[in-house]
Amino acid sequence: MTQDRNFNRLLQARWDQNKFLCVGLDTDLGEIARMKIPGMPSDDVLAQMSYFNQHAVMATSRAAAAYKLNFAFYLGEWPDGLQALYETVRFIQKHAPEVPIILDTKWNDIGNTNKGYVKYAFDILGVDALTLNAYMGEESLLPFLRYPDKGFFILCKTSNPGSAEFQDLELKDGTTLYQRVAKNVSAVWENQELGNLGLVVGATYPEELKIVRRIAPGLPILLPGVGSQAGDLAQAVRNGQNKRGSGFLVNSSRGILYPKVPEGRSIEQSVGFAADDLSRQISKSFRA
């Protein structure tokens, strides 16, 4: 496992370079097969996933502020998928060591169970950050939060259409559940010396994002929902940025990994172009 990696320092260094794109490595073998990639190994899940991810990393490392690997895509191809996840993390650490790695798990359970999650994520994989949910309260998050060099993005207002079922429930004080989550993460749970907590807010809910940013002015915000979920990028950037014009990550997975490939352009070139193009759109959104 690579040592001396601090999520906050890695992320801040990317922000200082005006990089705000989080590349989602949601590696889908069905999509990969559709693309008919030259040189792709056949009938070998581990080789296919590793080959695809390595080329995607090489194509996007210039534009990426972070990589986010959704655990489900790798678990679903067990056992080879989990080995591919491990190899992908190692590849990023070697070939793009300046880019932090987020494992998208949305884990949360009682303390003893969380010890297993912590061991896998940090001691075995060596990722820099996790997505977590707060449904069981701060107590259940403590085994994670004791890792000062890691980052943690807590689900707040998620991008899916059904998020309102619970997250928009009105509380006795007139606020909503997602607003309470934002308040607790920012004002109660956040250790100001560590500064390693953030929030997940869908770009599909720009007004709610504005409210969350007002409640949690200093927290990093991970913004899924741009691209295939039709989140408004310009609004997400305007409403998600902090007073320093930073503090957010725009996540894109399918829109970058599986682009249309024009005649005469390689898959790797097309993936890199898609990442660079979205990165430019994010920059333009500051002025929109």
Asked if 106 is an active-site residue, the reply is yes
Write b or e for each residue in 64-102: b if 16 or more Cβ atoms lie within 10 A of its Cβ, otherwise e: bbbbbbbbebbeebeebbbbbbeebbeebbeebeebbbb
What local confidence, expressed as pLDDT, does residue 36 receive? 84
SS3 35: helix
Distance CA 73, CA 69 (A): 8
Contact status, residue 185 vs residue 134, Cβ threshold 8 Å: yes
Parallel, antiparallel, or unpaired for β 21-24 and 101-107? unpaired
For residue 79, whether the previous peptide bond is cis, meaning omega lies within 30 degrees of 0, is yes
90 closest CA partner among 61, 47, 126: 126
What local confidence, expressed as pLDDT, does residue 193 receive? 56
Chunked mean pLDDT (size 10), the chain, 288 residues: 81 97 96 87 92 96 98 97 98 98 93 90 97 92 89 96 96 97 91 80 96 96 80 91 95 92 85 96 83
Contact status, residue 5 vs residue 128, Cβ threshold 8 Å: yes
- Per the residue annotation, which of 19, 68, 106, 284 is the catalytic one? 106
What local confidence, expressed as pLDDT, does residue 1 receive? 47
What local confidence, expressed as pLDDT, does residue 228 receive? 58
Q: Tell me which architecture the domain covering 7-285 has in CATH.
A: Alpha-Beta Barrel (3.20)
Question: Where do the structural domains in the chain lie, given as residue ranges?
Answer: 7-285
Tokens of 6: 């601090």
| Residue 155 CB-half CA count within 13 A | 18
